């Protein structure tokens, strides 16, 4: 993918094109950026006006920089100065800019829907009432903790550990991440089947190494998390002393779960997270646990088998549950209920939750405006109901047709590229082209819209709406177990500024939200658009053949269709990328993790090669004079500038650090230069000499 998607992703999804555009934390919901002005909202309060950035952004160019020395600084050198980071954002880049434009569009739809009227459709009633309840801060303050009390009472009523499975199931169904994860996925080795999975989970910090890394910064962050957990518990009624005591016990419990969790780099390997087991085998690892009661509370069908993604996790989990006193386990659940509900609780909870997850983790000084957070919360809860209206109002049909043309051009380029590879055998090439020809292309929005008729939404129940929406989506996902796969289903909402490849579906997906400036700009020539959205298409297509995607065949099954010698050559080439990106220092003393980011780096590099190949063919067919200049640049130059400007950014160091430690995508700067140095067409486009920084003597090339 380009970036991590909003909402709970189904296990097994390929990571998307960019970095987290949505959640910085439970209750924080969204962060954004863009060019700002002022306009009066329906409540007569000033509100920013967000404008799209053009596909070819002349204002970001720094022509004093030699493009052969540092192409990112040449293409994006003035971006940061032109786009200071607002206090309510962790950073500014092209994704956030368009994300805010889309949020603004969604807000207009939602304010109209929230105003009511007899003309509202059933879906408009739901999205309008959800938004209205979310925006009603006075009602939220007046209700206090009453809306969350039923969940807290469920926890308080637990008298023995034997009662935990049912309570855990109820909490997880409501979207509360406790102890472990449970959900639905396509069977990696039989993509026609939909099965259950269990997974490691239950941590309050972003991932396992936040609990285990040494160093002053990590120790400080752990102390801040400890204080935060204690404060949340005390806000809910515990004394400050008791809250801190419970926080220390919770930290000890979560640290044990972290130690039992698989590192993020290992989780990238689909073979390491696939262990299909009979349910009896799994239950033998959790002796004395009434797993059926958990499944019933989760509204899951009974299953005969499941994928135990990390078999080592559950024995360790059971050991910790057995050795931890019940009071601590209940405090642990209480905290996770509070943090997941904070955005719909009184301000004191919301502010404290943001202070840790937004300010301390990501360096964001202020929380995003409520209208932004609520608009995107509706998109997360009722994405296709809101998306249907969004598509009707904002998605131009001609962009879908042009997008499909570009997709076909780039798929054809990959076919030619496979034919030309000197390191792949004829046998593997046949299988690679079989997989390529089987890739399905989904553009804009689903063919059939989701039915939300059974989801109850009230105009005066903010938290209740969220919990019911979580339960509705949980039930929808789990109901798929044992049923035929719906190949028309989307995992992103239409307004999402993102794209993704799904290895089990073997499809590439481009929501309507990303098909507008700067990524697709109908006012720009093909050179710019193939550099922008063309590289996105190539990126997602290449994911089907990166170190993860290569393990899935044309039917979406985890299957080794490579010869042993070809795999050896492939790994030698990807090792080059691991070393290249692993040498980049992202912030302070933190380097990019070349192994964690390998899939995304492979997709960036290969996708850009394919997009350029496709553009040259398109230009040839259209009789474009490649040497003719527009805005002072030839078509090949505009292509590469367009690509680099996908990654213009201005980010807080805390945000970059968190990204490098947890995210499979490299920081934006390195996504530009890291791919450019490996492009065979770049040197000629800018007349760069071999051995210059952007045209090294030795470069990496996989696809």
Active centre residues (catalytic)? 540, 604
Q: Given phi > 0 = left and psi -120 to 50 = alpha, else beta, which region is 77?
A: alpha
Can you tell me the distance from the alpha carbon of 266 to that of 255, in angstroms, rounded to the nearest whole number? 19
Indicate the burial class of 630 (C-beta count within 10 angstroms; 0-12, 13-18, 19 or more).
middle
- In sequence order, the 6+-apart residues with CB closer than 8 A to the CB of 138 are none
Among the listed residues 103, 83, 82, the one whose alpha carbon sits nearest the alpha carbon of residue 31 = 103
Rounded-to-10 torsion of CA 209, 323, 197, 476: -100
Residue 703, helix vs strand vs coil = coil
- Report which of 439, 323, 408 is spatially closest to residue 617, judged by C-alpha positions: 408
Measured CA to CA, the distance from residue 583 to residue 695 in angstroms comes to: 17
User: What does the DSSP 8-state code read for residue 442?
Assistant: E
**What is the rounded (10 degree) CA torsion for 300, 151, 206, 287?**
-50
Q: Beta strands 507-511 and 440-444: pairing type?
A: parallel
Residue 562 DSSP one-character state: S
Backbone angles phi, psi at 11, to 5 degrees: -60, 140
Q: What angle do CA 125, 129, 135 make, to 5 degrees?
A: 150
Residue 296 bridge partners (DSSP): none
SS (H, E, C) 481-540: CCCCCCCCCCCCCCCCCCCEEECCCCEEEEEHHHCCCCCCCCCCCHHHHHHHHHHHHHHH
């Amino acid at each position: 993918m380009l970036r991590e998607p909003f909402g709970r992703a189904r296990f097994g999804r390929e990571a998307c094109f960019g970095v987290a555009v949505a959640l910085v934390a439970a209750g924080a919901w969204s962060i954004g950026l863009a060019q700002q002005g002022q306009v009066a909202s329906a409540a007569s309060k000033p509100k920013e006006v967000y404008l799209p950035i053009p596909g070819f952004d002349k204002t970001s160019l720094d022509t004093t920089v030699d493009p052969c020395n540092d192409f990112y600084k040449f293409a994006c050198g003035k971006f940061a100065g032109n786009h200071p980071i607002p206090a309510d954002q962790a950073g500014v880049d092209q994704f956030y800019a368009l994300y805010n434009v889309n949020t603004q569009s969604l807000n207009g739809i939602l304010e109209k829907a929230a105003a009511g009227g007899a003309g509202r459709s059933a879906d408009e009633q739901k999205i309008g009432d959800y938004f209205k309840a979310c925006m009603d801060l006075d009602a939220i303050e007046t209700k206090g903790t009453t809306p969350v009390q039923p969940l807290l009472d469920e926890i308080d009523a637990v008298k023995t550990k034997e009662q935990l499975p049912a309570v855990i199931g109820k909490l997880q169904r409501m979207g509360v991440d406790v102890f472990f994860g449970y959900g639905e996925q396509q069977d990696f080795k039989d993509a026609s089947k939909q099965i259950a999975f269990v997974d490691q989970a239950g941590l309050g910090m972003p991932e396992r190494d936040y609990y285990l890394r040494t160093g002053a910064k990590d120790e400080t962050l752990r102390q801040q998390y400890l204080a935060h957990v204690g404060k949340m518990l005390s806000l809910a009624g515990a004394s400050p002393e008791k809250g801190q005591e419970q926080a220390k016990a919770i930290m000890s419990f979560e640290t044990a779960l972290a130690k039992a969790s698989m590192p993020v780099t290992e989780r990238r390997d689909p073979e390491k997270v696939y262990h299909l087991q009979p349910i009896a085998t799994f239950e033998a690892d959790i002796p004395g646990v009434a797993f059926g009661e958990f499944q019933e509370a989760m509204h899951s069908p009974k299953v005969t088998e499941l994928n135990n993604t990390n078999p080592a996790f559950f024995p360790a989990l059971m050991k910790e549950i057995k050795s931890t006193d019940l009071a601590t386990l209940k405090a642990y659940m209480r905290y996770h209920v509070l943090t997941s509900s904070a955005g719909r609780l009184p301000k004191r909870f919301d502010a404290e939750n943001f202070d840790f997850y937004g300010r301390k983790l990501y360096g964001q000084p202020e929380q995003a405006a409520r209208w932004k957070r609520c608009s995107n919360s509706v998109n997360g809860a009722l994405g296709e109901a809101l998306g249907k209206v969004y598509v009707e109002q904002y998605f131009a049909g001609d962009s879908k047709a042009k997008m499909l043309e570009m997709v076909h051009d780039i798929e054809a380029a990959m076919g030619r590229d496979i034919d030309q590879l000197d390191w792949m055998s004829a046998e593997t090439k046949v299988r690679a082209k079989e997989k390529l020809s089987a890739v399905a292309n989904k553009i804009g929005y689903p063919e059939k819209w989701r039915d939300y008729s059974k989801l109850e939404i009230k105009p005066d129940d903010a938290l209740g709406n969220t919990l019911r929406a979580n339960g509705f989506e949980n039930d929808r996902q789990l109901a798929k177990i044992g049923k035929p796969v719906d190949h028309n289903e989307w995992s992103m909402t239409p307004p999402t500024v993102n794209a993704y490849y799904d290895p089990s579906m073997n499809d590439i997906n481009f929501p309507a939200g990303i098909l507008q400036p700067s990524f697709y700009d109908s006012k720009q020539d093909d050179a710019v658009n193939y550099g922008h959205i063309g590289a996105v298409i190539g990126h997602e297509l290449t994911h089907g053949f990166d170190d993860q995607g290569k393990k899935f065949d044309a039917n979406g099954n985890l299957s080794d269709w490579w010869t042993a010698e070809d795999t050896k050559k492939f790994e030698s080439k990807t090792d080059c990328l691991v070393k290249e990106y692993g040498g980049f220092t992202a912030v302070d003393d933190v380097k990019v993790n070349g192994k964690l980011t390998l899939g995304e780096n492979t997709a960036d590099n290969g996708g850009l090669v394919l997009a350029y190949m496709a553009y040259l063919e398109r230009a040839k067919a259209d009789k474009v004079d490649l040497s003719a200049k527009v805005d002072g640049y030839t078509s090949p130059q505009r292509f590469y500038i367009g690509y680099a400007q996908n990654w213009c950014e201005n980010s807080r160091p805390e945000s970059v650090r968190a990204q490098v430690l947890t995210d499979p995508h490299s920081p934006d700067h390195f996504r530009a230069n890291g791919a450019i140095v490996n492009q065979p067409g770049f040197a000629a486009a800018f007349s760069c000499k071999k051995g210059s920084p952007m045209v090294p003597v030795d470069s990496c090339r996989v696809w």
